[in-house]
Amino acid sequence: MSQVRRRWLFSFYLYWGIGTVFAMLFAALTAMPEVGVKNIEMVYFKTMMIFTKTVQIVSLFIWAWITYHCAYKKRGTKWLMWTLIVLPIAAFMKFFQLFISNSPVKILLFHSVSGWIPSLFGLMWVSAIYYWINCYRLRKENLALKNASKPEPDTAS
């Protein structure tokens, strides 16, 4: 296994592991019931939030499996290119959504400056950048392998 593939696999596990922890933390914080909630609509809202967060976590695992299978196992380049385009857009959308919304994660992030949640958030950003760089390198390597395996056209005739 080449150094590029080893680094990509490490960054893949790091990025998706931290992303999963952060998604589960966000799901737990947004689905926590308030004390003394007796309103049926609030209970319905909380149930829908739990369902939505569960669907998001399941889709996170599906996306991770597709990325691993297409980029690493099949040595493809198209899904890596898609990841290189979508990852920065999604990361900045999450970042700005965090500042716009009044989510519990935002409250915990800004009110617990010395806690572990800001550290996890910063680690998530660092791992996303490291993962993006390694996706770029793996795409280059997979493209080189794909081009090397193509037969040369016969120009002698």
Hey, what amino acid is at 109? L
Q: Where are the domains of the chain?
A: 3-144
Tally the C-alpha atoms within 13 A of residue 32's C-alpha that lie toward its C-beta.
Answer: 11
pLDDT digits (tens, 9 = 90+) for 92-137: 887 776 666 666 556 655 665 556 666 777 788 899 999 999 999 9
Question: Which residue from 118, 128, 126, 125 is spatially nearest to 25, judged by alpha carbons?
Answer: 118
User: 20: how many CB neighbours lie within 10 A of its CB?
Assistant: 14
pLDDT tens profile 44-101: 666 777 777 778 778 888 988 998 898 888 888 899 999 999 988 988 887 776 666 6
Between CA 105 and CA 56 the distance in angstroms is: 16
